[in-house]
Amino acid sequence: MSPLSVIFRREFRSYFATPLAAVFLVVFLFMAGIFSFSMGGFYERGQADLRSFFQFVPWLFLFLAPAVSMRLWAEERRLGTIEILTTLPIPLWHAVVGKFLAAWCFSLVALALTAPLWITVSWLGDPDQGVIVAGYIASAMVAGIFLAIGGFVSALTKNQVIAFVVTVVACFLVLLSGFPLVLNFFRGWMAPGAVDAIASVSVLTHFNSLMRGVVEFRDVVYFVSGILSLMVATTFVIDWRKSV
């Protein structure tokens, strides 16, 4: 077994060893239900699709992903187990990636538990299954990028509350960076090219583009490269903290 999978297995099981998993899953499903049926206008739309669910997924993960990711490294530091973990004969990136994948798979479990929604709309009507699959891919990608941001922030502190709050703010900015709310703030004093660059990292833009049912290479590259660079940054931060 590779060190990565050893770390992954321990981390993934640890979610279910505490009430965290139950609380997270119940809250996620409860909120998903409220959003899709009450706020999303599922009945009023009169269409058998999951748009009313998917459009709220980024906002759900905005609060729930940081709740999962805040413990990734901050808790290791508080418990002192980081001293054992980082002196085991395994490359650091195995621990970083293993922990991230465990958190990601956990959030995929939450997404998978919304399958009854899918089954229901398929039974009620004849939804475009490709669009629904794309919606789930988009949702998984958003969870991934938020958890990667959260893991990075968690590596910077041993205080989980700080990790949570900073991650929510960071995810919010990245989520909305394509919107006037954020862009107007930069527009006054930044070069137009830089503002365009900020606009292009907007999670919501890429999410919406995926959710339309068109899995474009550009959007997948955006999410995958974002996650990978955050993994590199997290590894770098943990290594850097050894020398300060």
Partner 1 sequence: MKELISANNLHKSFGSLRAVNGVTLRVNAGEVVGFLGPNGAGKTTTMRMLTGFLDPSLGSVSLAGFVLVDNPIAARQAFGYLPEGAPAYPDMTVREYLQFIARARGIASAQIAARISDVAGRVHLRGVMDQVIETLSKGFKRRVGIAQAIIHDPPILIMDEPTDGLDPNQKHEVRELIRTMGSTKAIVLSTHILEEVEAVCTRAVVISAGRVVFDGTPAEFEAKAPASVTRNRMDYVFRQLTSVTAEVSQ
The total number of residues shown for the chain amounts to 244
- What distance in Å separates the CA atoms of residue 187 and residue 166, rounded to the nearest whole number? 24
Using an 8 Å Cβ cutoff, are 134 and 208 in contact? no
Does 157 interact with partner 1 (rule: CB under 8 A)?
no
Residue span binding partner 1 (CB under 8 A) among the ranges 55-63, 81-89, 126-134, 202-210: 81-89
Q: Are 26 and 103 in contact (CB under 8 A)?
A: no
Q: Which is nearer to partner 1, 18 or 47 (CB)?
A: 18
Which of 29, 48, 90, 162 binds partner 1 (CB under 8 A)? It is 90
Determine the Cα–Cα distance for residues 231 and 116; give it in Å rounded to an integer: 33
The verdict on 91 binding partner 1 (CB under 8 A) reads: yes
Q: 91 or 125, CB closer to partner 1? A: 91
Q: Which is nearer to partner 1, 91 or 130 (CB)?
A: 91
Examine residue 108 and tell whether it contacts partner 1 (CB under 8 A).
Answer: no
Q: Token match 């997924």: residue?
A: 57
Q: What count of other Cβ atoms lies within 10 Å of the Cβ of residue 50?
A: 26
- Binding partner 1 (rule: CB under 8 A), the pick from 22, 34, 39, 84 is 84
Our finding on whether 81 is near partner 1 (CB under 8 A) is yes
